[in-house]
Structure 1
């Protein structure tokens, strides 16, 4: 068996957005991958016949996503970027005919059918098309990572379109909360549209609510009004339409607040929490560089079982959970360990699940929700996985200085020099509100294949371990989060004599990049460091990051009027203490952690005559390592491994 290589990134495929045909015999799904010759991404739509166990590619070339059957199962809508922007198309199964049915200048974000099969709803961005070539704004939130400069009149809206012409009707403004999937859904009778929308037109308030519109009268109800604030979305409607499930939180929006599951009784307008017995995060927050974009709803109603189903990030895994209307719940931990997408059978107690594991990039499974029997349907990487050797994730847990938990994983190397101890890389996740989990992560597998132990920690600030663990980092960057990482490292070194404590390395991106910068100002025990899309100066970041004016104010309990604490928390303030060689990697169009953060850090290191190297990736934003240009992702990994090897005395 061969080891994972950097170039293997180009041949990995993932499955997403499975959708049952209304009769339940056939399934549409999306296969995602990279065309090796052109190094461009593709998403193709396949039809899988569950009775004959055959699959057929219906739509190939470009990015084709979000397939949705009509009520008869005779045709489906989907999104395609064939014209350069995502537009809606109709595919007729009997003839194979494809017809474009939308023409929005800014393209479409999401689509759903109207039950009459003649109309559909979609979300899009509307902006001032007559704006000047010079950018003029009076708003504080005028820029966004992945989008660039935002017009002052720009807004996200839901529109209704027709299949027989390009006439559209703008219905309402809308928004999508962090970690949620679906902006809108429609009642089974077609009378009501349910959607998420910001509560205020206030750049400093990110609260959103769940709303319902009567499509006949255009009257609107604020369904989550009893909470008055918070974030609510992802509506799922019960059979008969009396109950609406929603994912959110009644606490004012902040990424450090866990999301829960609630149900609203439309007869009484009463909202009840179904997940109050669980101290967990609803949604998928596992870190991976091979996780596809999913378009299925995160919350779904099962008619056969009269219950809601959703995904929950817990203890390093993402599992399927079922909640009854009475608040009883059960999980399906035998499936996974990382379930990143699912859909429920329309008439039977079954579910289709897209799953990942450290040794498996992506599989499509069928789960009988009553017997818990699992049947494997598709694995697009089966031959690849049979030829490759994968590193094992070993659960570890250390005790924090204050008695709290420091959970994580130790990934063992697949080959190492026998005469000496093996090197170790501490790989720190971003967020900080994400989670290292038991999933396929090409970067981690490649590091293990190169002979490194890899330490994946979920220190305070990580999802999956309860609200207290999550909020332990707020206002305390560089404090207990730093001590958590160093304590867990010492814990592992004490238990693993195979690791050479003189061959330690560290890397991380975003918040993880901040932690790398902070670590090298506090200790010299690492042979080399790689900081990616990082933060170095919170004083300037307040004004340059797309979310800096509110996120970093909340995170550090300080603002630009009283910047002393911002500077106190900035690695740049301590750059003179750095002795570790540092590789700085950053995307030119990163507006979340702007390029100026990398520039300041690199220049300060060089000004102090420290050993440093700077790699800048053109036309790349904050998502470079996950969805960036494939050629750049390969260069990134090659440069990372070369930097570690260069500074490992044993290998030189």
Structure 2
């Protein structure tokens, strides 16, 4: 056996992503999604895998071929599996019988079909589809116009980084009969409807929608009960915030949901709310719990990770959920009074969870800094790991040397405690000095933590120490902490990061203070730009999908006009404040060689932000290079075309190699 080596950028093609576990209703088996990359086509392929919970056999692959298969959902009787596949060229719902045989296509809709939700009696499936105003699911597919036509824009929310320019379609809800294929459309009009769950008695669907007529200025979503027979909507929230993820208790007495009232705009902690069906009372169960509900971990490897949901107990006296705290996401339980306890803890990232109520066991998807992510069988009643179910990358990683990060805590600005992690380079030798790279996350309201980070491991393999920190603005510490960056971009958040660099230089003698690098994307790109305009201590920097000018960002980003007001806390009329917080204003101070990486179709932080920065630096004779990635958006580093993801990593490696 050859000696272990560090991981390389091209190894992305060898790695397998495991996600979205789903327990069978009897708790005896499970399915999940495995995503790989086809080198020949340079495309992602996602397939369903199956195994019995107690089996020592390798999981069985259930779908094959090109395309993506995802969103598996067991029928309540456990006899059939519904899933979504793009094999026909458009996402449609398919059915697999547990008795065997080929998958059967259930929907054939022009707008596609996603998000399958079974009826309690297993005879129907509700789903989301996309339709233009006035169009129905029974209309024939419109012929595509071959001529190039102008795009008429009348709304501010006319583009999205993930979907491009709005095509005039709205998300609607429909039902299909599993045996006959008969369809029924339940919603219509010029609003988006999000499907969550089916009531235990089969009468209602829990759905979400923003029914305000002008959604340019609305950032809410209410929860409604949609009566299937009459199609009548009954609101169970009252327009005070954003609510989602509704889950009925098994006896139909309660609906638990995720929600926040946006007191701190997009920095507000997500909480759990409880609606009592009989009394129609809505209350916030976690109002006094200063922890955000959900998975807010930053990652750059996993594919197809769905939003976490709430899982009720069989006795209807409480539920399980995932929450984010101090660099970890773990499993928690709450009773109906709001008494919360952590039922599965550890320094790791729980990014998927499926619970079997009768046995209080779970299949959990868990990642760690030196574990890409796999499935585990867990007992929730005694907080015990029963067994590891998958080891998707075990054979490959047995030949790879990964760096185990060390957790650090230091005093940031104003004496606030700040958490971070330091990775030693692969092949570390005591007494030797190594360059350090500071990594800064995006959001800014996300969290670095105990999960596998492919980019960090690649940099460690290149001989760099890697420092990553959760400055104020990060989730996982407190509502005050996550809100503190708003109105203070480039202030104490910058100081937190610099205090972190000072801390490791003072406490780790293997770091060469004359060879420091810095990089980050989105907010991390903004902060990289800000850093090189305010200090010359870094000898090289790489800014990715960044913000450089808040004045122009206001009008060109898909979220610009409201995100700017939420985060910088001022309007376009206040040019002075917007310019004060813009890295472009300090470009004449930049002495650090700066590599600028940006995607052509990034609508979140449009490429003009990079263009301005590049031209300003070149005009002043600064050392810089601008790399534009064709046809990619803001998600290049996480889910972009594999070849370009590898190219991006190589540009970062080579820039630091040249300058550090």
TM normalised by structure 1 equals 0.95
Which residue, out of 322, 332, 349, partners 1:321?
Answer: 332
The aligned residue for residue 179 of structure 1 is none
Deviation at 1:304, TM superposition (A): 5.3
Deviation at 1:199? 4.8
- Change over 3 Å in CA distance of 1:499–1:335 after alignment to 2: closer
- Give 1:447 deviation, angstroms: 0.9
Residues 120, 200 of structure 2: 8 Å contact kept: yes
1:147 paired to 2:159: no
**In the alignment, is residue 470 of structure 1 matched against residue 482 of structure 2?**
yes
Equivalent position SS for 1:332: strand
Partner of 1:58: 62
Q: Which residue is equivalent to 2:176?
A: 161
Q: Once the two structures are superposed, what CA deviation does each residue of 1:264-320 show, in whole Å capped at 9, x if it has no partner?
A: 111112222222332111111111111222347521212157321111110000111
8 A Cα contact 1:25 1:51, kept in partner: yes
Runs of 4+ in 1 over 4 A off after TM superposition: 128-132, 172-176, 416-420
- The equivalent position to 2:36 in structure 1, one of 16, 30, 33, is 33
- Which of these residues, 405, 429, 449, is aligned with residue 441 of structure 2? 429
Residue of structure 2 in register with 1:97 after alignment: 102
* Closer, same or farther: CA 150–585 of 1 in aligned 2, 3 Å: same
Asked if 1 retains the 8 angstrom alpha-carbon contact of 2:208 and 2:222, the reply is: yes
Give the CA deviation at 1:197. Answer: 1.3
- Taking the TM superposition and a 5 Å limit, the aligned residue runs for 1:525-536 are 525-536=537-548
> Structure 1, residues 557-581: CA drift from partner, whole Å, max 9, x if none?
2222232211111111111111110
1:283 and 2:299 correspond: no
Which residue of 409, 412, 415 corresponds with 2:421?
A: 409
- Equivalent pairs counted in the alignment come to 640
| Aligned pairs (5 A) from 1:251-262 | 251=262, 254-262=265-273
Residue 623 of structure 2 is aligned to residue 636 of structure 1:
no
Q: Does 1:127 align with 2:132?
A: yes
Provide the secondary structure at the position in 2 that maps to 1:486: helix
The aligned residue for residue 364 of structure 2 is: 353
- Conserved 8 A contact 1:231-1:252: no
- Residue 74 (1) aligns with residue 79 (2): yes
Distance 2:297 2:256 in 1: 23
How far 1:645 sits from its partner (Å)?
0.6
Checking the alignment, whether the CA contact within 8 Å between 2:13 and 2:36 is kept in structure 1 is yes
Secondary structure of the structure 1 residue equivalent to 2:498: helix
| Greater mean alpha carbon deviation, residues 590-599 or residues 561-570 | 561-570
**Partner Cα separation in structure 1 for residue 360 and residue 346 of structure 2:** 15
| Cα drift, residue 175 of structure 1 | 5.5
Match of 1:458 in 2: 470
Match of 2:258 among 230, 247, 250: 247
- Structure 1 counterpart of 2:223: 210
2:295 counterpart SS class: coil
TM-score (norm 2): 0.93
- Provide the C-alpha distance between the structure 2 equivalents of 1:503 and 1:166, rounded to a whole number of angstroms: 66
CA shift in 2, pair 1:400/1:285, >3 Å? same
1:43 aligns with 2:46: yes
Q: CA deviation at 1:431?
A: 0.4
CA deviation string 1:543-595 (max 9, x = no partner) = 10000011112211222223221111111111111111000001111000001
Give the conservation status (yes or no) of the 8 Å contact 1:305–1:349: no
SS in 1 for 2:530: helix
1:136 paired with 2:148, answer no
Partner of 2:136: none
How far, CA to CA, are the matches of 1:361 and 1:540 in structure 2? Answer: 39
**Structure 2 gaps, min length 5:** 134-141
- Give 1:244 shift: 0.7
Aligned counterparts of 1:364 and 1:450: Cα–Cα separation in 2: 30
How far is 1:72 from its partner? 2.1
Give the distance between the partners of 1:338 and 1:420, measured in 2 at CA. Answer: 32
Instruction: Tell me how far apart the structure 2 counterparts of residues 275 and 139 of structure 1 sit (CA, whole Å).
Output: 36
